[in-house]
Amino acid sequence: MSPYALPLHTLRIAANCALPLIIWFSAGRLVRWALLLLAATLSHGSWYQARLVVVLFLFTIVVMISLATTVGMLYVIRGALMETRARRTGDEAKEGLFGALNRTALVFSGIYMTWSFVDQDIRDFLNIDLFRQPDGILVDVMAGRESTVMGGLISLDFKVSLATALVAYLVKTFFGRRHEAGQGRFSGIMATFGEIAFVFYGLNAIWTLGGARSDWIGARAVVAGGEKLAADAQNAIPGWEAFWSDIWPNVISGLALPLAWLTVGILVYGAYAEDTQTTIRGTPLETAAARLQDTHSLTRRALSKLTAGWTERWIPLLNSLRLTVRGGAPLFGLFALCYVGLHIGGDYLARAGQYLVASDKPYFWFITDVPVFFVSELLVTTLTMCLVAATFDLAATRDRLRRSRVTG
């Protein structure tokens, strides 16, 4: 299998699985939008702090819906992969959707949070809240009161956020231990929910505490010294500012983010190596392998602990790159190129759609932009999932054939 067959293989998978992919994407977006609208509506009114507890609870569900939609889209592609058919020929049983989600949700949530995929969920919440009352901020200012527009995710009281974060931590710990022991069909999903809720409620406490003490922190010698070192490096090292402002963002968007999505695909489909934990080897996540007896041998262990840090951000991606290179170094290069091309093409497609439906009526774009961006995101997301699946399929198949030649 040539790595240069990746674009055609992607289109073949997209043609075979177009309908279920469209259904999964559309249903996920509908549920997600309804929850965001409900959260934005509840973020204003009496009993404000109690409302914000519910808002963050709903926002946690929104993130879980995003995770489930991605896993579901990758799952429905599974039957179209050559590697899947080869595994089933080898008497590996079919894994159910909830089994795949339960197995991968906790690790996927770590990638989702550390690589800022959650930023889009936050932006959508803020936009929905703003466009519900476009003049809300101005009206509140004119009335002499503090506006609550776009504040639903960051305005929770410190004591309330600390208490709810503690509850979320207990949920995370309880179900995480059950997940480690292989107990409970949905223990991994519940542990993931507790993990994400703990992050959001905890961030509110940190935000409040940090805002109250920002002046004190900024005046400390270590912080001030760090800022001075950064300024000195910018002045002394040629190209320092250009690297961090112009080059590094392109490295992240052109190489790291495609590799993050490929890591998600490997987690859903299972590593194509003899060891099941290669994707997360070298991180604290490796110590949390669950004793679940999953339905195919290459993904028998699930991961149930999540700690933030450099290793969780980079090591899984580096190991995924190493696994993919086994299928041929050109494969990853072509994958990254196609990924970037898809997203650039999606931006141009959205812009072309806006030009086509443009009107001279004021604010008419409020209505026309919704279907334009939906279609653009539908095409980009479905083709991206097919691209991830095709890359995994080619790399896994090439690695399996190589090993069979060596052993044969």
Confidence of residue 296 (pLDDT cuts 50, 70, 90): very low
User: What confidence score (pLDDT) does residue 272 get?
Assistant: 42
Is the pLDDT at 306 greater than 50? The verdict is no
> In the block, which residue shows the tokens 């770590």?
110
Backbone angles phi, psi at 280, to 5 degrees: -120, 20
pLDDT digits (tens, 9 = 90+) for 160-204: 999 999 999 999 999 988 887 877 778 889 999 998 999 889 887
Higher pLDDT, 327 or 313: 327
Question: What SS3 class is residue 1?
Answer: coil
| Residue 327 to residue 2: CA distance in whole angstroms | 9
Task: Output the pLDDT for position 197.
Answer: 92
Q: What is the mean pLDDT of residues 62-77?
A: 95
Identify whether the C-beta of residue 58 lies closer than 8 Å to the C-beta of residue 40. no
- The DSSP code for 395 is H
Q: Is the pLDDT of residue 373 over 50?
A: yes
What's the CA gap between 276 and 286, in Å, rounded?
A: 10
> Residue 327 has what pLDDT?
64
Which percentage of the chain shows pLDDT scores above 90? 38
| pLDDT tens track for 354-372 | 999 988 888 888 889 999 9
Q: What is the overall mean pLDDT for the chain?
A: 80
Residue 128's Cβ-side half-sphere holds a number of Cα atoms within 13 Å equal to 21
Do residues 68 and 166 make contact, with C-beta atoms less than 8 angstroms apart? Answer: no
Residue whose entry in the numeric block shows the structure tokens 């497609």: 349
**Dihedral Cα 121, 123, 125, 128, nearest 10 deg:** -130
pLDDT at residue 375 greater than cutoff 70? yes
Dihedral (Cα; 287, 111, 70, 188), 10-degree rounding? 30
Compute the distance between CA of residue 254 and CA of residue 326 in angstroms, rounded to an integer. Answer: 21
- pLDDT class for 95, splitting at 50, 70, 90? confident
Can you tell me whether residue 303 is helix, strand or coil?
strand
List Cβ neighbours of 333 (8 Å cut-off, separation of 6 or more).
none
In the block, tokens 């790399």 appear at 395
pLDDT of res. 117: 87
Contact 279, 265 (CB under 8 A): no
Question: What pTM value is reported for the model?
Answer: 0.82
| Model confidence band, residue 128 (pLDDT cutoffs 50, 70, 90) | very high
Q: Describe the chain by its helix, strand, coil percentages, rounded to 5.
A: 80, 0, 20
> How far apart are alpha carbons 404 and 401 in whole angstroms?
5
Residue 233 has pLDDT above 80, yes or no: no
DSSP code of 156? -
Question: Rounded mean pLDDT of 91-105?
Answer: 78
The whole-number pLDDT of residue 229 equals 61
Classify 44 in phi/psi space as left (phi over 0), alpha (psi -120 to 50) or beta. beta
- Assign 282 to helix, strand or coil: coil
**How far apart, in whole angstroms, are the C-alpha atoms of residue 136 and residue 142?**
10
